[in-house]
């Protein structure tokens, strides 16, 4: 019974990290109809930036923020220089360019920082909290993940639902041509979408790294989990992606705990295929149904 509870809590905590990556995928998908396969590699790269800052004695939270700023700029540059060009080609061009960015960033990280595993500081203890000798199944770091993800999600909800900028971004995503006719600079909104997704990815990377360690491929699996989560959510819905990510986190944690950790990745494939076969438009998507 305690094993089950522990697995559920670990799963939820991992799920929150997948959620941030998944929401990054959703942000970009909504505005450009591109699945950003480089999302996780971008997150990894920003995490390395944070790690090297911390190595140079920059305080954790300052490094955290600087890495987010770096990610924001990196996302804008990738959108402006590469993805906008790729969008002029076939849909497959965008997929291939995103894969190109993925492989280039992983390789660059390997060249710059070496291909070996390294630690990434968690800043908060990874040891379970005990009260009166009873383990609670969660560590201070889990609480930190929860708070960080919550703050990030609330900030995104606020931006999209309650600000002019968010309204323009949503309009640009849903109806780019109409938005341009209304005087909205759609190109800038797309760039901003990539920048925000990249920044969210950096947060995910820095939250994931203390557990999975940091190495150039460390986020490959997270990308697949987050993609599956986003698909469960219909690719269009940030809330759907969050729920999907929690489902993924918990399912994989249970698979790993009861069937063996080697089955997590194959398990993700099976879940993805089952979801895609049952409801290709996702389980939480309402919009897709109206589109013929």
Partner 1 sequence: MLVIEKLSASYGPVKALKEVSLKVDRAKITAVLGANGAGKTTLLRTLSGLVKATNGNVSVDGNEIVNKSPEDIARCGVAHVPEGRGVVQEMTIEENLRLGAVWKRDVDVKSKIKWVYELFPPLEPRAQKAAFTLSGGERQMLAIGRALMAEPRTLLLDEPSLGLAPLVTSNIMALLRRLCDEQGLSVLLVEQNARSALSVADDAVVLSLGEVVVADDAKKVMSDSNLRHHYLGF
Partner 2 sequence: MGVEEIDLKAEETKVKKETLIEGGSKLSLKRLIPVPILRNLLLAIVAVVIFFFLSGHLSAYRNYQLSQVGPYVLAILGLSVLIGQNGQISIGHGALMAIGAWSLALLQIHTKLPLGVILLLATLITTAIGGVLGLVAARLRGPYLAGATLALALGVPDIATRYRSLFGGYQGLQINPPSPPAFLGANFTPQQYLAVIDVIVIVIAFIFVANLVNSRIGRDMRAVRDDEIAARLAGISVQRTQVFTFAISSGLAGLGGGLLALVASNVSPGAFSVTLSISLLSGLVIGGIGTMAGALWGAAVMVYVPQWATTLTEKFNMNQGIAANIALAIYGILLIVIVLAAPGGIQGILMRLKGLISGRGRQRATKG
Q: Residue 58 or residue 167: which is nearer to partner 1 going by CB?
A: 167
Chain-centroid distance of CA 234 in Å reads 15
Could you give the C-alpha distances from 290 to 159, 286, 287, in angstroms and in order? 26, 7, 6
- Asked if 264 is part of the footprint of partner 2 (rule: CB under 8 A), the reply reads yes
Q: Residue 270 or residue 287: which is nearer to partner 1 going by CB?
A: 287
Of 22, 145, 148, 268, which lies in the binding site for partner 2, with binding defined by CB under 8 A? 268
Of 48, 120, 227, 284, which lies in the binding site for partner 2, with binding defined by CB under 8 A? 227
Residue 66 Cβ vs partner 2, minimum distance, rounded to whole Å: 24
Residue 99 Cβ vs partner 2, minimum distance, rounded to whole Å: 6
Residue 153 Cβ vs partner 1, minimum distance, rounded to whole Å: 20
Element (H, E) at 261: none
Q: Classify burial at 290, counting beta carbons within 10 Å of its beta carbon; exposed 0-12, middle 13-18, buried 19 or more.
A: exposed
Q: Which of partner 2, partner 1, none interacts with 86 (beta carbon under 5 to 8 A by kind)? A: partner 2
Nearest to 82 by CA among 98, 68, 60: 98
- Asked if 97 is part of the footprint of partner 2 (rule: CB under 8 A), the reply reads yes
Could you give the C-alpha distances from 46 to 59, 131, 265, 281, in angstroms and in order? 16, 36, 24, 31
Q: Which of partner 1, partner 2, none interacts with 171 (beta carbon under 5 to 8 A by kind)? A: partner 1
Q: Is residue 292 within 8 Å of residue 281, measured between CB atoms? A: no
Q: Which of partner 1, partner 2, none interacts with 82 (beta carbon under 5 to 8 A by kind)? A: partner 2
- Residue 33, sorted as left (phi over 0), alpha (psi -120 to 50) or beta, turns out to be left
Nearest to 246 by CA among 262, 266, 264, 226: 226
Gyration radius of the chain over CA positions:
19
Element (H, E) at 123: none
Q: Which of partner 2, partner 1, none interacts with 177 (beta carbon under 5 to 8 A by kind)? A: partner 1
Return residues touching partner 1 (CB under 8 A): 164, 167-168, 170-171, 174-175, 177-186, 287, 290
- In the complex, the residues that contact partner 2 under the rule CB under 8 A are 29, 34-35, 37, 82, 85-86, 89, 91-93, 95-97, 99-111, 114-116, 216-217, 220-221, 223-224, 227-228, 231, 260, 262-270, 272-273, 276-277, 280
């Amino acid at each position: 019974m305690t094993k089950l509870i522990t697995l559920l809590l670990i799963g939820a905590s991992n799920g929150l990290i997948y959620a941030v990556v998944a929401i990054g995928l959703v942000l970009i998908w909504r505005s450009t109809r591109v699945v950003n396969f480089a999302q996780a590699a971008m997150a990894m790269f920003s995490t390395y930036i944070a790690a090297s800052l911390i190595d140079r004695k920059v305080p954790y939270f300052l490094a955290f923020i600087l890495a987010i700023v770096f990610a924001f700029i990196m996302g804008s540059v990738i959108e402006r220089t590469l993805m906008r060009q790729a969008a002029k080609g076939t849909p497959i061009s965008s997929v291939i360019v995103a894969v190109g960015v993925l492989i280039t960033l992983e390789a660059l990280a390997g060249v710059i920082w070496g291909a070996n595993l390294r630690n990434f500081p968690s800043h908060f203890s990874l040891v379970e909290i005990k009260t009166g000798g009873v383990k609670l199944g969660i560590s201070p770091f889990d609480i930190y993940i929860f708070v960080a993800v919550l703050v990030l999600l609330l900030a995104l909800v606020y931006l999209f639902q309650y600000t002019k900028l968010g309204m323009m971004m949503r309009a640009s995503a849903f109806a780019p041509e109409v938005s341009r006719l209304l005087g909205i600079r759609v190109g800038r909104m797309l760039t901003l979408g990539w920048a925000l997704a990249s920044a969210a990815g950096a947060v995910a990377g820095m939250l994931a790294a203390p557990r999975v360690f940091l190495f150039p491929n460390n986020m490959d699996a997270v990308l697949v989990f987050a993609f599956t989560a986003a698909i469960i959510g219909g690719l269009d819905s940030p809330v759907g992606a969050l729920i999907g990510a929690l489902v993924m986190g918990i399912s994989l944690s249970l698979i790993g705990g009861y069937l063996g950790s080697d089955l997590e990745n194959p398990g993700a494939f099976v879940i993805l295929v089952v979801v895609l076969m049952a409801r290709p438009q996702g389980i939480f998507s309402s919009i897709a149904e109206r589109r013929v």
